[in-house]
Structure 1
Amino acid sequence: MTETQRELAALTRKIVESSDAPWADLVKTGVVPEDPDEFGVLEHCAVLVELGRAVAAVPYLPTTLARTALAMAGRHVEPGAVLSVALAEDSTGAKTTVPFAASAEAFLVADDDRVFLVRAADLDITPQVLVDGTDAGTFRFESGELLEGVTPDWLTTRYTLGLCAFQLGVTERALELTAAYARTRVQFGRPIGAFQAVAQRLADAYIDVAAIRLTLWQAAWRLSEGLPADAEVATAKFWAADAGHRVAHTAVHVHGGTGIDMSHDVHRYFTAAKRAEFELGGATAQLLKLSAAL
């Protein structure tokens, strides 16, 4: 990462670790830039990794993605406005599990090969709660304002990459917490991390996190350079899903009974990892995308 990207990541970490109003402070400090063109793919990924490390329930990914798309269509939105994107649907046109639907002022809605801008006031939104406790919603899309120059594939590719960045942060921190627990939890007169079975699980998790990191930044770099990146994004999402699954379960298993305590931090990381694993397609879906491209 560049020095600017490292500073941006450090600022994000400081805010999410100490702020009582992280979204407002992210906007105030410029982590959510006033000009959507100020940050590129790499900068956004640097922020999302830190948000994942804190499992921060802030609408950074859908909002910044929507603002960038609106700027491409010649629209300007204030940086403090919460926006969302609606990608998932069934055959009836219903949009489901739309992130941050309760607080969003407007939505970018994908429909076939077009993207529409829809105001929240024009929708009948039914609240939902995702597996990690994040608010979401469902609504039926009927009409909206067509956005020229923005496609569903453009939105989906970048949203998928953002999920991979968030998952990297989740798994990095989950592994750190689990390794620290294994060093201090004593059983049979020794720290449990000294037992080969536990040490091997942690070593495998280390390799998995490294694979998520490598494939994420490879895909992000290609997108930032304007290079074809569909295969790289699918590869990154495969590792975010497949390896993310293993790291999340390792964190729970090594923590033992503590790992299934819903009030413990490790549970937050487990549910966040499971959401990132399946949102916009799990490991099998990504392999199918890759096989179709061969």
Structure 2
Amino acid sequence: MDFTFTEEQQAAAEAARGVFAGVAPDGVPSPALTQGRPVADDLDRALWARLAAADLLSLLLDEESGGAGLDAVALCLVLREAGKVLARVPLLETSAAAAAVQAYGGPELRSALLARAGRGEIALTVAANGRTGHDAAELAVTARQDGGRDTGGGGDWVLDGVQTAVPWAYEADFVLVPAHTGDDRSVLAVVARGQEGTTLAEQISTSGERLGELRLESARIPARDVITADGAWEWLRALLATGTCALALGLGDRVLEMTSDYASKREQFGHPIASFQAVAVQTADRFIDLRAMEVTLWQAAWRTASGAPGALPASGDVAVAKIWASEGVRRIVQTGQHLHGGFGADVDYPLHRYHAWAKHLELSLGPAAAHEEALGDLLAAHPLG
């Protein structure tokens, strides 16, 4: 299997490196210093504008919407660079939500959102964590069509339920909310910020960023703003998970680089600690973690982008990528903190903030054991050979 990146994909990654070059992860305080308050009141608007100017918010959009028409692999290359600097922007959420609207939304919805999202005029996010963070997101909200059967046409849709830990809920202009209907189908409702029948309650993530608990009480959404196509939520969920793995890979890349640099300069007994066998073995193990995270990420991104056939559905590749990303990023930051010694526990040192972000990404991806169980079910349903 050839994972050589195309010229367009490499150009997107190079553009991202240029945009993120001036971002200083230590420019935002560690969540340990903010005493329960968010680390910032808004997303990084200056960075958001630079991403828009570099056409990095429209990577997945087609030319008709002012985009580059690229795929999930290109997006993950850009997200990897974002993870290295802990970029405080809804790049993943906006890109994935816009791609879902483009692939499954109606003409009116595409016309209203896509070009504006690609230009950075609006930000989008997705309520993907359900009512508690442990249950399926599409089961946390009910959707019924007023005055008729749930056929995707006709009257407004009415939504009731709760979605927790919605990223960028206070900054995004629209939230894509998965919901289930009376006949056990899933729909995606595009809910505007401040929509009548919705309320937000502030939550603070492990990384110190502000999240929102979104409550919907008879929130009435026009039919044109509800995506009823089969498979829309499943596809969007896979793209979000794959993108989160890319962020974890970028974060892990940077932490291992920081650790290697520190170990090569920190001396004990007259020698750099990097020359000690115990240190070398630990960093080598983390390098192996990174390479496993990388290869499983590109496999998942490729399958998500192409819908390529295989013995297993694409969800199998996504599950494998999530297993390696959630476990790998945790081991990498723990080793980094251990080898940094006292610096690793210093909340003023950037590594502390990387650790907080890594924990948030690990929790977002979910426990490896759950993904292993899901993968086992897939293997049972699709025996190999």
Structure-1-length-normalised TM-score: 0.95
Deviation at 1:133, TM superposition (A): 2.0
Partner of 1:70 in structure 2?
101
The answer to whether the aligner puts 1:180 opposite 2:184 as a matched pair is no
The AA in structure 2 aligned to 1:30 is: D
The answer to whether the aligner puts 1:249 opposite 2:330 as a matched pair is no
Partner of 2:28 in structure 1?
none
Deviation at 1:34, TM superposition (A): 7.6
Q: Give SS of 1:127's match.
A: strand
Partner of 2:282 in structure 1?
201
244-253 vs 91-100, which moves further = 91-100
Q: Give SS of 1:7's match.
A: helix
The answer to whether the aligner puts 1:291 opposite 2:295 as a matched pair is no
- Greater percentage in helix: 1
Cα–Cα, structure 1 residues 17 and 133, in superposed 2: closer, same or farther, change >3 Å?
farther
Tell me the number of residue pairs that the alignment of Structure 1 and Structure 2 aligns: 294
- Over residues 92-111 of structure 1, what are the superposed CA-to-partner deviations in whole Å (9 max), with x where a residue is unaligned? 73111111111010110011
Structure 2's unaligned 5+ residue stretches are: 24-43, 63-68, 132-139, 142-160, 181-185, 380-385
- Over residues 76-121 of structure 1, what are the superposed CA-to-partner deviations in whole Å (9 max), with x where a residue is unaligned? 3202111100011225731111111110101100113221111111
Percent sequence identity over matched residues?
37
The answer to whether the aligner puts 1:156 opposite 2:181 as a matched pair is no
Structure 1 distance, partners of 2:286, 2:256, is 7
Deviation at 1:151, TM superposition (A): 2.7
Partner of 1:32 in structure 2?
57
Cα–Cα, structure 1 residues 258 and 35, in superposed 2: closer, same or farther, change >3 Å?
closer
Maintained 8 Å contact 1:277/1:283: no
Structure 1 distance, partners of 2:191, 2:205, is 22
Larger radius of gyration: 2
Cα–Cα, structure 1 residues 133 and 241, in superposed 2: closer, same or farther, change >3 Å?
same
Maintained 8 Å contact 1:62/1:83: yes
Deviation at 1:39, TM superposition (A): 2.3
Q: Give SS of 1:36's match.
A: coil
Query: Residue 43 of structure 1 is aligned with which of 63, 74, 81?
Result: 74
Query: Residue 119 of structure 1 is aligned with which of 176, 192, 197?
Result: 192
Partner of 1:82 in structure 2?
123
Deviation at 1:135, TM superposition (A): 2.3
The answer to whether the aligner puts 1:211 opposite 2:242 as a matched pair is no
253-262 vs 120-129, which moves further = 120-129
Deviation at 1:61, TM superposition (A): 0.5
The AA in structure 1 aligned to 2:273 is: I
Structure 1 distance, partners of 2:179, 2:334, is 36
- Over residues 164-213 of structure 1, what are the superposed CA-to-partner deviations in whole Å (9 max), with x where a residue is unaligned? 01111000111011000000011121111111111111000000000000
Deviation at 1:4, TM superposition (A): 1.8
Cα–Cα, structure 1 residues 239 and 119, in superposed 2: closer, same or farther, change >3 Å?
same
Query: Residue 102 of structure 1 is aligned with which of 170, 181, 200?
Result: 170
236-245 vs 117-126, which moves further = 117-126
Structure 1's unaligned 5+ residue stretches are: none
| Aligned-pair Cα RMSD in Å | 1.7
Deviation at 1:131, TM superposition (A): 1.0
127-136 vs 160-169, which moves further = 127-136
